[in-house]
Amino acid sequence: MNDEIPISNNFIRQQVLDDRASGKHDGRVVTRFPPEPNGYLHLGHAKSICLNFGIAGEFAGRCNLRFDDTNPAKEDLEYVESIKHDVQWLGFAWSELRHASDYFAVFHLCALKLIKHGTAYVDSLSAEEIREHRGSLTQAGKDSPYRSRSVAENLDLFERMRAGEFADGAHILRAKIDMAAPNINLRDPALYRIRKVTHQNTGDLWCIYPMYDFAHVISDAVEGITHSLCTLEFEDHRPLYDWCLDQLDLGNDAELTAPLRASGLTVNVSRPQQIEFARGNLDYTVMSKRKLLALVQDGLVDGWDDPRMPTISGLRRRGFPAAAIRTFWQRAGVTKQTSVIEYSVLENCVREDLDANAPRRLAVLDPLRLVLTNLAETHEESLTFSNHPKNENFGARSVPFARELWIEREDFMEVPIKGFHRLAPGSEVRLRGIGIVRCDEVIKSDDGSIAALHCTLDLDTRHGMPGADRKVKGTIHWVSARHAVAAEIRLYDRLFDVPNPDNDDDGKTYRDHLNPNSRRIVSGWVEPSLADIAAESSVQFERLGYFVRDADSRPGKLVLNRSVTLRDSWSKPAAK
């Protein structure tokens, strides 16, 4: 991985250090990132990616990318490809690419073993009846009337489920643990359900699919995972994770993994340890896949890669560098304490990275024509500008200069207020890299709007002239009107206008808090060196912010997205 960031200690890293010191797993470190291919990855997933791949990388271990493709009704190859791209873009490479569907035959054998040992049974209650029998946090559950089925009957029913004899929901396979357990996850959890849906990898070979808790633990074990890192919501599932490991004893039952060896897959069975950490939460953001999918499907955003979305693909299109995202999660740390991080912390990581790595360019987003009347109409020259004021290794470039320029409309005020140090009638300002100009005349359109400014350039203040050091209070940027390239500029901001859009205490939903100003499109002008800017290349527009070339660009149409402003525009006002 390029652009390495400092290692920060945390309780998971310390656990790995302790395990290696004690000789556990013979010192091996094997992790995995196990996304469901039912949507695009978001910032929260980036935390898990950085943690799993980072831990494996630090200890010269292995990290697999494993798709948890056990629910074909919601999965799509589009999501698979996007996830692979996102992981690679973040700077990581997986040791092996695996799918839970690689292990369907193993899951089936494991289920048969539990049935034969009397620790699993086929239940014929409806989903609603199962919920009613499960009880509550204060009330024990009730045994299903089908819990006492014989091993032979359970084997027969399960194989008929496998053969497609029954409709979806007619039966499920449940673990037989304890319906009175204080932990509801141990009250005979479901292991298999019927789903007559074509699977993206296995087609119609299977019509029964394992539940996540069952598939996940077996996948971890057969891949030789040593440290199974999960978010906190799985903490209450850990006893079930360990129960499955105890009951199946995969390391001492080679028959269970025989299908993998027959297919040529590497099998290195371990007893993995599940460790939980707090997921990553940011304000002004929702990171529920269900809600993000709804935003896409309902047309409230322009797809999963909309630059306002917290998806990795959206952030990439917005111009957030991968290194900045890695730095952000490194600074946020890994704890068991649920917290909400300010979005401005992420934006500041982006600014730091782009400040160091983005070349400087000139652009005008709200153009006002400025005419230097004391220059000839044919006047044209090239000026040399540094590409980065803090790093001479970026070199320099030529910027065309002519008689007519574009400046920012906000850099002129006809009736200046106190403290305004830019251009006004009769006042002077320095044009960046050119010299000092004085506004002599304001040209207006028929409707009274300002159409142009006629100014005089003090030739004695140009570079190398005796008056070059003459001081004025303001400096403004510009582009040559004759040479500038037109660009569609998309000014992006936060998608929501409240810190906690998930909070519905006021009767509103996250949809009611969509920020109407999250995207504003303007027609601007940029210096001609940007005409051929490469895809996903970032620049700093002086005084304006950081921008990136958008995928919608094509010959003759340049589209640029604002990644972040130069400063935090959402900062809280200082307390009085």
Look at residue 574 in the predicted model and tell me its pLDDT: 43
Separation in Å, CA 191 to CA 58, 246, 536: 35, 16, 45
Q: Is 25 annotated as a binding residue?
A: no
Q: Is 512 annotated as a binding residue?
A: no
Alpha-carbon gap, residue 306 to 464, rounded angstroms: 48
**3-state SS, residue 376:** coil
Residue 129 sits in the same domain as residue 261: yes
Residue 558 sits in the same domain as residue 542: yes
Task: Write out the chain's pLDDT in tens, 576 residues.
Answer: 445 555 668 999 999 999 999 999 999 999 999 999 999 999 999 999 999 999 999 999 999 999 999 999 999 999 999 999 999 999 999 999 999 999 999 999 999 999 999 999 999 999 999 999 999 999 999 999 999 999 999 999 999 999 999 999 999 999 999 999 999 999 999 999 999 999 999 999 999 999 999 999 999 999 999 999 999 999 999 999 999 999 999 999 999 999 999 999 989 999 999 999 999 999 999 999 999 999 999 999 999 999 999 999 999 999 999 999 999 999 999 999 999 999 999 999 999 999 999 999 999 999 999 999 999 999 999 999 999 999 999 999 999 999 999 999 999 999 999 999 999 999 999 999 999 999 999 999 999 999 999 999 999 999 999 999 999 999 999 999 999 999 999 999 999 999 999 999 999 999 999 999 999 999 999 999 999 999 999 999 999 999 999 999 999 999 999 999 998 876 654 443
Q: Is 44 annotated as a binding residue?
A: yes
Residue 508 sits in the same domain as residue 428: no
Look at residue 150 in the predicted model and tell me its pLDDT: 98
Query: Residue 97's domain is classified under what CATH number?
Result: 3.40.50.620
Alpha-carbon gap, residue 171 to 163, rounded angstroms: 13
Q: Is residue 265 part of a domain?
A: yes
8 alpha-carbon distance from chain centroid = 21
Query: Residue 521's domain is classified under what CATH number?
Result: 1.10.1160.10
What DSSP string runs through 403-429?
A: SEEEEEGGGB-SSPPTT--SB-TT-EE
Q: Which residues pair with 562 in a beta bridge?
A: 547
Residues of the domain holding 138? 11-277
Alpha-carbon gap, residue 199 to 119, rounded angstroms: 28
Q: Is residue 5 part of a domain?
A: no
Q: Is residue 547 part of a domain?
A: yes
Look at residue 266 in the predicted model and tell me its pLDDT: 87
Q: Is residue 571 part of a domain?
A: no
- Choosing from 247, 277, 307, the residue where a domain stops is 277
Q: Is 45 annotated as a binding residue?
A: yes
Alpha-carbon gap, residue 358 to 335, rounded angstroms: 33
Residue 279 annotated among the catalytic residues of the structure: yes
Residue 348 sits in the same domain as residue 389: no
**3-state SS, residue 219:** helix
% helix / strand / coil in the chain, to the nearest 5? Answer: 30, 25, 45
Q: Is 37 annotated as a binding residue?
A: yes
Residue 520 sits in the same domain as residue 450: no
Residues 468/461, Cβ–Cβ less than 8 Å: yes
Across the beta sheet with 208-210, the strand order is 120-123, 172-175, 190-194, 208-210
Q: Is 43 annotated as a binding residue?
A: yes
Residue 374 sits in the same domain as residue 302: no
Residue 293 sits in the same domain as residue 405: no
* Torsion sign across C-alpha atoms 458, 463, 467, 469: positive
Angle at 250 between CA 247 and CA 255, to 5 degrees: 115
Residue 289 annotated among the catalytic residues of the structure: yes
Look at residue 7 in the predicted model and tell me its pLDDT: 60
Residue 251 sits in the same domain as residue 344: no
Q: Is residue 504 part of a domain?
A: yes
Tell me how many domains the chain contains: 3
Query: Do strands 558-564 and 485-492 pair parallel, antiparallel, or not at all (unpaired)?
Result: parallel
Alpha-carbon gap, residue 548 to 560, rounded angstroms: 5
Q: Is residue 2 part of a domain?
A: no
Q: Is residue 386 part of a domain?
A: yes
Residue 67 sits in the same domain as residue 206: yes
Alpha-carbon gap, residue 265 to 212, rounded angstroms: 21
The active-site residue, picked from 36, 96, 153, 342, is 36
Residue 163 sits in the same domain as residue 116: yes
Q: Is 24 annotated as a binding residue?
A: no
Residues 187/134, Cβ–Cβ less than 8 Å: yes
The active-site residue, picked from 289, 316, 422, 549, is 289
Alpha-carbon gap, residue 239 to 377, rounded angstroms: 81
Residues 543/316, Cβ–Cβ less than 8 Å: no
Q: Is 38 annotated as a binding residue?
A: yes
Residue 52 sits in the same domain as residue 126: yes
- Choosing from 484, 513, 545, the residue where a domain stops is 484
b/e map of 31-57 (b: 16 or more CB within 10 Å)? bbbbbbbbbbbbbbbbbbbbbbbbbbb
Rg (alpha carbons) of the chain, rounded to whole number: 31
Residue 492 sits in the same domain as residue 542: yes
Separation in Å, CA 3 to CA 223, 327, 347: 29, 10, 18
Residue 142 annotated among the catalytic residues of the structure: no
Q: Is residue 40 part of a domain?
A: yes
H or E element at residue 20: helix 11-22
- Choosing from 243, 277, 311, the residue where a domain stops is 277
Alpha-carbon gap, residue 279 to 72, rounded angstroms: 25
Look at residue 232 in the predicted model and tell me its pLDDT: 96
| End-to-end C-alpha distance for the chain, whole angstroms | 46
H or E element at residue 190: strand 190-194
Residues 258/213, Cβ–Cβ less than 8 Å: no
Q: Is 231 annotated as a binding residue?
A: yes
Q: Is 48 annotated as a binding residue?
A: yes
Query: Residue 381's domain is classified under what CATH number?
Result: 2.40.240.10
